[in-house]
C-alpha cells in the first residue's frame, strides 16, 4: 500500500525525524500542562463552571494569540524558523513554572490567567512555526502522509501527556505533595527537553526561503495590515485554499459547540457535580477515544485520497460527523458518547489533514507563514465564538436535543455547500503555488485534472497533484483539550 510506504519513508528521513521529535515532545508537554489546568480549574470541587465559565477559559487560552497571530506571520516569513521553535520552547518554561507557583498558593485569579495566556500564546506561535517549517524536511510527493503523521502524532503525544498527568496524579495522591504543582513542573521540564531536541535541527534548514528584497522586521510590523491584506488577496487568487479555510472554520464552530457540551455532560450530567474525580476520569477517556479517531483518520485519509480528491473526502467526513452527532450521540449515554467521540475525531482530523494539504499546495512559500497565522486565527476565533454561543444555548448539564440538532444539521449543510462549491470550481483553471505549479505544468500532458461531475470525480491520477509548493509538505497546529 502506498500510504504504508510513505510512512516508512517519512520515519527514516533524519530531517523529518528531528522535527517530528520536537513536535511530539512539545505536544506531550501540552497534554501534561492542560491536564493540570483542567483538574485545577474545571474539575476542582471548590469551582462549579458552567458553559459561560468554559467559554471564558477557552477565550483566555485562545483569543490572545488570535490578536498576535498576524504579527507572527511577519516573523515566521523572516526569522530562522528553527530559532523560532527553539525560542518558543525555552521561553514558555518560565510562565509554566510561574503558574506552578501560583497554583501552589491556591490562587485562580488574574495572575494565573495572565500566565496561562502567555504560555498558550507562545504555544500557538510555536505550532504555526511548525506548520511553515515542515515543507522543508519532507519531499513534496509525501504531502498527504506527512500531514497525516505529524498533527495526528502530535495529538497522540498530547493524549500521552494527559495519561502521564493522570498517572502522576494517582501516584502523588497518597503523598503530601501538591499533585497539580508537581504535574505543571513536569510540563516545564518537558518543554525544556523539546528545546534541547530543537538544537539538533540545522539552523537554516527550516526556511524561510527567498529573504532577499524583503523589508526589515520593523518596517514589516508597521505595515502589518497591508501584509495581511496581501495574504488575503493571495487567498482570493487561490480559491481552492480559500474554500478549504472556509470549510474548516464551519467545522470548528460545530466542533466547538460539541466540545463545550461534552465537558458539561461529564462535569454535571453523567456524574454528580461533587464527584469531580469521576467526571475528570470520564472526560479523559472521551479524549482518549477521540484520539483513537484521530489516529484512524491518519491511517485512512492517505488511502482515501489516493482514490478520490481531498475535497470529496472532506464532504464524506462532514456527512459522517452529522450522522455520528445525531446517532449515537443523541442517546446521551456514556458508551454512546464515546462512540460518537471516535467518529467525530476521525472527521475532525481527516478534514484538517485535507485542508492542510490544500492550503499548503496552493499558497506560495512567501505567503505561507502569514496564511498559516491567519489559519490559526480562524481556527481559534471560530472555536471561541462557538463556546460563546454555547454559553447562551447549552444548559448546565450539557444535554440539549436542540443543540444536538444544530450541530448535526450544521455539519450536513457545510458538506452540501462545500460539495456545490467544488462542483462549480471544477470548470475553472487550477492555480498552483511555487514549485508545485512547475511540477504540474511539466506533467500536465500525462494526467487529467478532473472528470465530468462533482468533487468526487476530481481523481488523483498522481499524488503530485496535491504536492506542497516548496521542498516538502507541511502541517498544521493542534488545539486544546478535546479538539
Q: What is the pLDDT along the chain (483 residues), one digit of tens a residue?
A: 554 566 577 878 889 999 999 999 999 999 999 888 888 877 765 666 677 878 877 887 777 767 676 677 777 877 889 999 999 999 999 999 999 999 998 876 788 888 988 898 888 789 878 878 888 888 877 766 787 778 778 888 998 998 899 888 888 877 888 888 999 999 999 999 999 999 999 988 898 876 556 667 677 677 667 767 777 888 888 889 999 999 999 999 999 999 999 999 998 899 876 676 778 888 889 988 998 998 899 889 989 999 999 999 999 999 999 999 999 999 999 999 999 999 999 999 999 999 988 998 888 887 876 787 788 788 888 999 999 999 999 998 999 999 999 999 999 999 999 999 888 776 565 555 554 555 544 444 333 333 333 333 333 333 334 433 333 333 433 333 333
What distances in angstroms separate CA 163 from CA 256, 283, 285, one per listed residue? 23, 12, 10
Helix (H) or strand (E) holding 456: none
Q: In this predicted structure, what is the pLDDT of residue 164?
A: 92
**Cell matching residue 419:** 460539495
Residue 348 and residue 468 in contact, taking contact as beta carbons nearer than 8 Å: no
pLDDT at 177: 85
Three cell numbers written together for 155: 495529538
List Cα–Cα distances, 109 to 102, 115, 116, 215, in angstroms. 9, 10, 11, 42
Alpha-carbon radius of gyration of the chain: 22
Residues in CB range of 182: below 8 A, 6 or more apart: 168, 172
DSSP 447: S
Tell me, what's the pLDDT at 447? 37
Q: Which fold has domain 2-203+223-466?
A: Growth Hormone; Chain: A; (1.20.1250)
Q: H or E element: which one contains 382? A: helix 365-393
Show the cell assigned to 243: 474554500
Helix (H) or strand (E) holding 113: helix 110-133
Cell numbers at residue 45, please? Answer: 470541587
pLDDT at 230: 76
Amino acid at each position: 500500500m502506498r500510504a504504508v510506504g510513505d510512512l516508512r519513508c517519512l520515519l527514516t528521513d533524519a530531517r523529518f525525524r528531528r522535527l517530528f521529535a520536537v513536535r511530539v515532545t512539545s505536544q506531550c508537554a501540552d497534554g501534561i500542562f492542560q491536564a493540570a489546568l483542567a483538574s485545577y480549574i474545571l474539575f476542582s470541587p471548590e469551582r462549579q463552571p458552567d458553559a459561560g465559565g468554559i467559554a471564558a477559559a477557552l477565550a483566555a487560552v485562545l483569543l490572545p494569540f488570535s490578536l498576535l497571530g498576524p504579527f507572527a506571520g511577519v516573523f515566521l516569513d523572516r526569522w530562522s524558523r528553527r530559532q523560532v521553535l527553539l525560542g518558543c520552547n525555552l521561553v514558555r518554561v518560565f510562565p509554566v513554572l510561574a503558574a506552578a507557583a501560583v497554583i501552589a498558593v491556591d490562587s485562580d485569579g488574574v495572575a494565573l490567567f495572565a500566565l496561562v495566556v502567555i504560555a498558550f500564546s507562545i504555544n500557538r506561535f510555536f505550532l504555526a512555526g511548525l506548520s511553515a517549517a515542515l515543507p522543508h524536511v519532507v519531499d513534496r510527493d509525501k504531502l498527504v502522509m506527512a500531514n497525516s503523521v505529524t498533527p495526528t502524532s502530535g495529538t497522540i503525544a498530547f493524549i500521552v501527556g494527559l495519561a502521564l498527568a493522570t498517572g502522576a496524579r494517582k501516584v502523588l495522591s497518597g503523598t503530601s505533595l501538591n499533585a497539580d504543582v508537581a504535574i505543571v513542573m513536569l510540563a516545564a521540564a518537558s518543554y525544556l527537553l523539546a528545546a534541547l531536541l530543537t538544537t539538533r535541527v540545522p539552523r537554516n534548514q527550516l526556511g524561510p526561503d527567498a529573504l532577499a528584497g524583503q523589508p526589515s522586521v520593523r518596517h514589516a510590523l508597521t505595515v502589518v495590515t497591508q501584509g495581511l491584506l496581501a495574504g488575503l488577496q493571495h487567498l482570493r487568487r487561490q480559491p481552492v485554499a480559500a474554500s478549504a479555510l472556509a470549510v474548516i472554520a464551519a467545522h470548528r464552530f460545530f466542533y466547538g459547540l460539541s466540545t463545550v457540551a461534552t465537558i458539561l455532560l461529564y462535569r454535571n450530567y453523567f456524574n454528580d457535580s461533587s464527584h469531580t474525580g469521576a467526571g475528570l476520569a470520564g472526560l479523559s477517556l472521551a479524549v482518549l477515544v477521540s484520539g483513537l479517531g484521530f489516529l484512524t483518520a491518519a491511517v485512512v485519509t492517505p488511502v482515501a485520497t489516493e482514490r478520490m480528491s481531498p475535497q470529496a473526502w472532506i464532504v464524506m467526513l462532514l456527512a459522517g460527523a452529522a450522522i455520528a452527532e445525531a446517532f449515537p450521540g443523541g442517546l446521551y449515554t456514556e458508551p454512546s458518547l464515546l462512540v460518537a467521540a471516535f467518529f467525530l475525531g476521525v472527521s475532525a482530523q481527516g478534514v484538517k489533514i485535507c485542508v492542510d494539504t490544500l492550503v499548503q499546495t496552493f499558497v506560495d512559500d512567501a505567503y505561507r507563514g502569514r496564511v498559516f497565522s491567519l489559519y490559526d486565527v480562524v481556527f481559534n476565533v471560530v472555536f471561541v465564538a462557538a463556546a460563546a454561543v454555547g454559553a447562551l444555548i447549552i444548559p448546565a448539564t450539557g444535554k440539549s436535543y436542540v443543540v444536538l440538532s444544530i450541530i448535526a444539521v450544521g455539519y450536513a449543510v457545510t458538506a452540501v455547500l462545500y460539495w456545490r462549491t467544488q462542483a462549480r470550481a471544477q470548470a475553472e483553471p487550477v492555480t498552483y503555488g511555487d514549485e508545485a505549479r512547475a511540477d504540474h505544468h511539466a506533467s500536465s500532458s500525462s494526467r487529467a485534472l478532473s472528470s465530468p461531475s462533482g468533487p468526487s470525480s476530481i481523481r488523483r491520477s498522481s499524488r503530485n497533484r496535491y504536492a506542497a509548493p516548496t521542498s516538502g509538505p507541511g502541517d498544521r497546529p493542534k488545539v486544546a483539550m478535546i479538539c
